[in-house]
Structures are given as structure tokens and as C-alpha cells.
């Protein structure tokens, strides 16, 4: 059965590495996130740790999320089979890229080191 993109979007958010890693980070810091519109109260130490997590990976910034999720949705839309199995394959591939550091700032820094001039 084909899955419309509107139904695929929440699945993509929940099944890919950025969301799973963020939940692990919150759990490790014992941060409870209440339902909106309430906001969590976070100590300065926990906020600093969370901020460093965000600055290490582009996928935890607004721009990085736009790139990651837009690309994942576009790949799913262009699949010949837009069923649950195809969606899970796309999510797995997208997660693999994140796990390999595709949107890592430290990777960008290493790759942008100046080389010998010509």
C-alpha cells in the first residue's frame, strides 16, 4: 500500500538518527520535555551540554534539519515503491549518512583544512 508523503513525514522524523540521538541526549541528561506550550526548565550545565551537542552536528540546527529532512523526503517521493518498506529503507539510508558524520561540523573542519597552494 502506498504511503502519502503527508503520512511519511512523521515516520521520517521518528525513524531517523537525528531524532533518536536527540532523545538519547535528553535521557542521558535527565531532561524531561513537557508537551507544548509548556517549556522545560533546564539547568545551565545541561543547557551548555545540549548546546555543544547542537554545535557538533548540523542536523540539530534549523538549516541542517531543513537539508536533512527535505533530502530524505525527496528521496522517498522519487522511490518507485512508496510503501512502508521503501520508507524504512530511505530512513535507514538517511540515518547511515548521519552516523557516518555527513552533517558533522568536525568533519567539515577536517576537510576544509588548507592544503598546499598551487
Question: Which grid coordinates belong to 82?
Answer: 512508496
- Between the alpha carbon of residue 35 and those of residues 38, 40, 116, the distances in Å are 6, 9, 53
**CA dist., res. 33 & res. 41, Å (int):** 9
**Is the pTM of the predicted complex or chain greater than 0.85?**
no
Under a CB-based contact definition with an 8 Å cutoff, are residues 58 and 106 in contact?
Answer: no
**CA dist., res. 111 & res. 24, Å (int):** 28
pLDDT values of the chain reduced to their tens digit, one per residue, 118 residues = 899 989 999 999 889 888 888 888 888 888 887 777 677 777 888 777 777 767 777 777 778 888 889 999 999 999 888 899 999 999 999 999 888 888 777 755 455 444 444 4
**CA dist., res. 83 & res. 80, Å (int):** 9
Amino acid at each position: 500500500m502506498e504511503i502519502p508523503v503527508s503520512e511519511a513525514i512523521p515516520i521520517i522524523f521518528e525513524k531517523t538518527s537525528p531524532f533518536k540521538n536527540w532523545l538519547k541526549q535528553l535521557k542521558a541528561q535527565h531532561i524531561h520535555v513537557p508537551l507544548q506550550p509548556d517549556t522545560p526548565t533546564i539547568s545551565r550545565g545541561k543547557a551548555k551540554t545540549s548546546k555543544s551537542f547542537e554545535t557538533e552536528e548540523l542536523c540539530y540546527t534549523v538549516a541542517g534539519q531543513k537539508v536533512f529532512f527535505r533530502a530524505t523526503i525527496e528521496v522517498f517521493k522519487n522511490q518507485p515503491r512508496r510503501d512502508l518498506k521503501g520508507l524504512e529503507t530511505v530512513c535507514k539510508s538517511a540515518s547511515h549518512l548521519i552516523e557516518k558524520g555527513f552533517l558533522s561540523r568536525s568533519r567539515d573542519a577536517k576537510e576544509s583544512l588548507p592544503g598546499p597552494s598551487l
